Structure 1
Amino acid sequence: MSEDASLNDFTDAAEVEETHKGCEKELFGLGKIPTDWSIEPLSDIATIVQGNSPPSSTYNDKEEGIPFFQGNSEFGHFHPVADTWCSEPKKEAEKNNILISVRAPVGDLNIADRNCCIGRGLAALQPGSINGLYLYYNLTERRSWLSRLSTGSTFKSITKGDLQLLNVPVPPLREQRKVATILYTIDQGIEKSKKIEAQLDQTQKGLIQDFLTRGLQESETVKTGTKLGEIPSHWEVVAIEDILSDEEYSFTDGARYSLSSDEIQESGDARAILLEEVREGEFNDSSPKFATEEKYNEITHRAIYSGEVVVAKMAEPVVRACIVPDTYEKYLLGCADVVRIVPNDEIEDRFLMYCMNSHKVWRQAVAHLRGTGRSRINLENISELYIPKPPLSEQRDMVSILTGIDQQIENEQEYRNNLQRLKRGLQQDLLSGTVRTTDTNIEVPDEIAQHG
C-alpha cells in the first residue's frame, strides 16, 4: 500500500475476515482474543529501558550529541522534533524503539525515528519477539487503561515494574505484520492529509499578503504611511470605526454581559460564542456550549447572527477572526473577549475576516496588547486598526479565490476525519482479533517488516 492510496484503497485493504470463533481468552483492556493467540508479559517480548535525565550541563541547542526528549509533548506522530540535544546521554533509545510516557500524561506513545537520549519522563521499548509497529498499535488501543495504572496524588506515573507485568496479546508474526500494515497505511494517509492542509494554509496566507499589498492585477502601489505598508494606489485606507454599519451594537463585545460558568450549559436555546470558538478563519464547533432562552432574551443586544464576523481580543494570535456559521438558529456573545463587527455595505464580511487575519493588521494589534498574564487588546484599540479598502468588485474577486482554498482545506479535514473514524473502528477489531487478516492478501511493505 502506497502513501498515495485513496480512502477507497484503505477500505478495500480493511475488508478482512470477521470471525468470533475461538475468541475464548480474556485480556483486561481488550476483552476476548482468539485461542490461537498467546498472551505474553511485555518484559518477555521487549526490553524496557527506563529513561534517566543527564546533567543539565550536557544539554545544548547546537545539535551536538543526540536529540534529548523528556516526554512525548515534543513529538508529532512518528516525527520527533528536538529542541534540545545531549552530548553525554545516560539512557538512550534506538531507532524504531517505542517511546512511552511514564509520567503525566501517562501512556502517550511514539516511535523514535533515530537514536535519542530519553529523560526520566519516558521509557523505551525495544521489541524482541514481536513486530514493533504491532506492539505500538496494541499499546495505543490500551492507552486509557495504562493511564489508570498510574499512581501519585499530584504527579501521576507508572514504573518499569508496572510495564513489565503488562500482558500483551500476540498473534502469529505474519498476522501482526498485516494488522500493522493496515493501521500504518491509514496513519500515512492521515499524515499526508495534514501536510496538504498545512500547505494550503500557507498558500492562502501568502495570497492574502500579496492581495492586500498589490491587489489582484499587480496594481501600482503607494505607501500609506501606516503599518499597512504599501497598497494599490486606487484603494483607500480606513479604520475599523469608519466601516461599521449604522445598526445598533454593530461593534460590541460581551463585556458586562458575559455568561457565568453556571449559565453555560451543554445544551440550550442559543449557541454561546466563547474565546475558544474563534480561530483564524475557522469557527470551532467541537465542544458547543449554550445559554438558555431566558438568558438569550435578557441580553438579546448581544446576539450574533450567522455570516457575521467575530474577533478575538486575546492572543494567540490577537484579533484572529472567523465567520459565524449557519449551524444554529441563535448565537450569543458568551464572553468579554469576543467582539462582533458588522461592516457597512462597502465592506464584504469575508474580506474583513481575511484582513483581520493578515499580518498587516496583526502587527498593528500587537502594539496595543496589555496585561501581564494573558495579554489582550481593548475594544477602542480594535476600532482604530487600519484596513485597506478596495472597490467592492475587487473584494469579491479576492474573497472568491480565498474561499476556494478554504473549501479545499475543509475537504481535506473531512477526508482526514473519515480516515480517523475508519482507523478507530478497525484498530479495536483488529487488535482484539474480532476481525482477522489470516486469509487476506495484504502485501507487507519493507517499512513494516523492518520492525520485526
Structure 2
Amino acid sequence: MNTIYSEFQEQFHVSSVRSFPEEWDKKTLLDAVGMKKDLIVAGPFGSNLKVSDYMDEGIPIIRLQNIDYGKFIDKEIKYISHEKARELAYHSFRAGDLVLAKLGDPIGKTCIVPDYFKDGIVVADVVRVRVADGLVDKKFIMYSLNSVATKNQLINGAIGSTRPRVNLDQIRDIQILVPPLNEQRKIAAILSSVDAAIEQTDAIIAQTERMKTGLMQELFAKKFDIAKLGDCSFKPEYGYTTSAIFQPVGPKFIRITDLKDDGVDWASVPHCTCDEYVLKKYLLKPGDIIFARIGATTGKNYLIKENINCIFASYLIRIRCKDMLLPDFLYQFLKTSAYWNQINANKSGRLKEGINIPLLNGILIPLPSIQEQKKISLILSSIDERLDGEKKYRERLKKLKLGLMQDLLNGRVRVKVDGNV
C-alpha cells in the first residue's frame, strides 16, 4: 500500500502539513451547500408513500438499497405514478443530487444520482442533498459525507442499536471542513481516480468469475465415472468442542463462522487450549477439506493448503481424500451447482437444515482419472490465483482510498493546485 500511496503522492503532488489549514472553513452541511433548508430534504412519511404505491414503470423512487458509498446501485428500481410524484414534489430529486441513507448500518452512506435519472422521489429514510451551483464541489461533499468523521458524528447522534437512525436536523448540522473550491476539486479528482481503479478491478473480477463459471460447466459436463464421496475418502470426522480464546495461546481454532465467501482470514481465527491427544486427532493438514454442517452456511467448505497449527470446531466436518481423488479437484467440484443442488436437497428439514456425515458421504462426485483431475484442477486453480490477486489488489486500493480520505479531507495532507484542476 505504501508504494501505491507514494505513486499518488507523486502523481498529484501531495505534500504533508502539520497544522489545520487557515484558509479552510468549518461549516455545517446546510451552510456548505447553500444555507437554504429546502436544499436538504428527507423523503415523505411512510403514510404518504406506501409500498402499495410502487409500480413497475412511471416516476422512479430511490430507496436505501439503491445507495452505496459513492456508488448508485441501479437494481430493483421501483416507480410511482406521475400523479403521486406531483403530490410528493417537495421530496423530489434530479440528476446530480446527492442521496444519503439516514437509517441502517452503515448509516450515512451517500452517492450521486446518475445522469440517466432525470428526476424522481426519495423515500422516507433517504435524504436528498442539493448543492447550489458553483458554491462547492458535489463530489467533494459526497466524499466528506462518506468519511469516517461524518459517520462518527451520525453514530454518536443516532437512536436505535439494530438499525440506527438520525433525523433531518442532524443531517443538516453535520460538520465538514471546506477548503477553497479549486482544492475541493483536486481532492475529489484524486479520490475519484482511486474509485475508478476500484471499479475497473471489480469489472475484471466479475468478468473472470463469469469465465470460470462457464469453464467449470464445460469441464465438469464431460462423461466421467460417478462415485460417492464416502467411497473416495477416509472416514469423515466431526470437530472438537471447546471455547475459543482470543489471545495467542495454544493452536488456532477454526469455527463455522470463520468460513467466509472469500476464504479464511487466518489472522482473525481465535485460539484454544487442548492436550497433545486432542491436538494430534484434530490437527488440520494440507489436503484436508472442512465443511460447515449446520445453519445458513451449511455446505460451505475450505481446502487447507498450508501447514497451520490449527484444529477444527464441532460444527465442522473434516474430509481426507484417498489416493483415487485429488483434494484440489474435489475442492473445485465443491464450487459447482451440481454439488450445491445435492446439499440443498439433503439439508431440508434435517438437523436444523444441516448435514451430517452419512449425508456428506452420499454426495455424488465425478471421478475421472488422476491425470484428468490434475488437468482440471490446474486450469481452475490458475484462474483462482488470478482472482485472488485481483481481490487483494482491490483491498489495497480500498485501504489506500480510506487513508487518502482521512488525510485529504481534514487538511493533514494538502494538494498543490495550479488553477487548472
Please classify the TM superposition score into its range, dividing by the shorter chain length. Answer: 0.7 to 0.9
SS of match in other structure, 2:308 = coil
Counterpart contact for 1:66–1:117, Cα < 8 Å: yes
Q: Distance in 2 between matches of 1:241 and 1:152?
A: 49
Note if 1:127 corresponds to 2:122.
no
> More strand by proportion, 1 or 2?
1
Instruction: Give, as a single letter, the amino acid of the residue that structure 1 aligns with 2:142.
Output: Y
C-alpha distance after superposition, 1:24-68 (max 9, x if no partner): xxxxxxxxx3111122221123221111241222113x2332134
Letter in 2 for 1:145: Q
How far apart, in 2, do the equivalents of 1:65 and 1:340 lie?
Answer: 54
Given the alignment of the two structures, is residue 424 of structure 1 paired with residue 402 of structure 2, yes or no? Answer: yes
User: What letter corresponds to residue 119 of structure 1 in structure 2?
Assistant: V
Deviation at 1:75, TM superposition (A): 4.0
Q: Which moved more, 1:144-153 or 1:295-304?
A: 295-304
Q: Residue by residue, what CA displacement relative to the aligned partner does 1:392-412 show, whole Å, maximum 9, x if unpaired?
A: 011111111111111111111
User: Is the CA contact (8 Å cut-off) linking 2:225 and 2:366 kept in structure 1?
Assistant: yes
> Which structure 2 residue ranges, 5 or more long, are not aligned?
34-38
Q: Structure 2 matches for 1:147-186, cutoff 5 A?
A: 147-152=155-160, 156-186=164-194
Residue pair 1:278, 1:310 contacting (<8 A) in 2 also: no
Distance 1:362 1:154, change over 3 A: closer
Does structure 2 retain, via aligned residues, the 8 Å contact 1:64–1:86? yes
| 1:354 counterpart = 2:349 | no
Shift in CA distance, 98/258, structure 1 to aligned 2, threshold 3 Å = farther
Moved more, 185-194 or 105-114: 105-114
For the residue of structure 1 that corresponds to 2:241, the secondary structure is coil
The amino acid that maps onto 1:310 is I
CA drift at 1:276: 3.0
- TM-aligned CA deviation for residue 189 of structure 1: 0.7
Deviation of 1:197 (Å): 1.2
TM superposition shift of 1:200? 1.3
> C-alpha separation between the residues in 2 aligned to 1:380 and 1:38?
68
Task: Give the deviation of 1:10 after TM superposition.
Answer: 4.2
Judging changes above 3 Å, is the alpha-carbon distance between structure 1 residues 191 and 104 closer, same or farther for their aligned structure 2 residues? same
1:18–1:8 CA distance, 2 compared to 1 (3 A): closer
Shift of 1:15: 3.6
| Mapping for residues 223-372 of structure 1, pairs under 5 Å | 231=223, 235-245=224-234, 250-254=235-239, 257-260=240-243, 263-279=244-260, 282-285=262-265, 288-294=268-274, 297-298=277-278, 300-314=280-294, 318-326=298-306, 329-336=308-315, 338-371=316-349
Distance 1:380 1:73 in 2: 44
For residue 72 of structure 1, report the CA deviation from its aligned partner: 4.7
Structure 2 CA distance for aligned equivalents of residues 144 and 374 of structure 1:
39
The Cα shift of 1:417 comes to 2.0
Please, what is the CA RMSD of the aligned residues? 2.7
The verdict on how the C-alpha distance between 1:166 and 1:12 changes in structure 2, with shifts beyond 3 A counting, is: same
Distance 1:199 1:251, change over 3 A: same
Q: Matched residues in 1 for 2:69 and 2:145: separation?
A: 17
Q: Deviations over 1:301-350 (max 9, x none)?
A: 23322332122334656423321242x631211231x2211010111101
- Is 1:409 the counterpart of 2:401? The answer is no
Q: Given residue 49 of structure 1, which amino acid in structure 2 is its aligned partner? A: V
Please report how far the alpha carbon of residue 8 of structure 1 lies from its aligned counterpart in structure 2 after TM superposition: 8.0
Provide the C-alpha distance between the structure 1 equivalents of 2:351 and 2:188, rounded to a whole number of angstroms.
45
Q: Is the 8 A contact 2:159 2:166 kept in 1?
A: yes
Letter in 2 for 1:42: L
Cα distance, 1:238 vs structure 2: 0.5
1:38 aligns with 2:42: no
Which residue of structure 2 lines up, in the alignment, with residue 436 of structure 1?
Answer: 414
Task: Please report how far the alpha carbon of residue 159 of structure 1 lies from its aligned counterpart in structure 2 after TM superposition.
Answer: 1.5
Letter in 1 for 2:179: P
Deviates more, 1:316-325 or 1:89-98: 316-325
In the other structure, the counterpart of 2:110 is 109
Please list the CA deviations of residues 136-162 of structure 1 after superposition, one character each: whole Å capped at 9, or x if unmatched: 111222212321121357753222112
Tell me what 2:36 maps to: none
Q: Secondary structure at the match of 1:290?
A: coil
Output the CA distance in 1 between the equivalents of 2:275 and 2:380: 37
Alignment of 1:96 onto 2:104? no
Taking the aligned partners of 1:116 and 1:275, their CA distance within structure 2 comes to 44
Shift of 1:360: 1.4
Note the C-alpha offset of 1:432: 1.4
Q: Which has the higher helix share?
A: 2
CA offset at residue 187 of structure 1? 1.0
- Partner Cα separation in structure 1 for residue 296 and residue 208 of structure 2: 21
Contact between 2:69 and 2:146, CA under 8 Å: does it hold in 1?
no
Q: Distance in 2 between matches of 1:64 and 1:162?
A: 32
Q: Which runs of 5+ in 1 are unaligned?
A: 1-5, 24-32, 215-230, 445-452
Assess if the C-alpha contact under 8 Å between 1:251 and 1:341 holds in 2. yes
CA spacing shift, 1:48–1:369, aligned 2, 3 Å = same
Report the count of equivalent residues. 395
Output the amino acid matched with 2:393: Y
> Match of 1:184, SS?
helix
Please tell me the residue identity of whatever aligns with 1:83. Answer: E
CA 376–75 in structure 1, closer or farther in 2 if over 3 Å, else same: farther
TM-score, normalization by structure 2: 0.85
Q: Distance in 2 between matches of 1:37 and 1:186?
A: 24
Structure 1 residues 166, 342: CA separation in 2 closer, same or farther (over 3 Å shift)?
A: same
Aligned residue for 2:183, secondary structure, equals helix
TM (normalized to structure 1)? 0.79
Q: Is the 8 A contact 1:138 1:431 kept in 2?
A: yes
Q: Which letter does structure 1 place at the counterpart of 2:111?
A: N
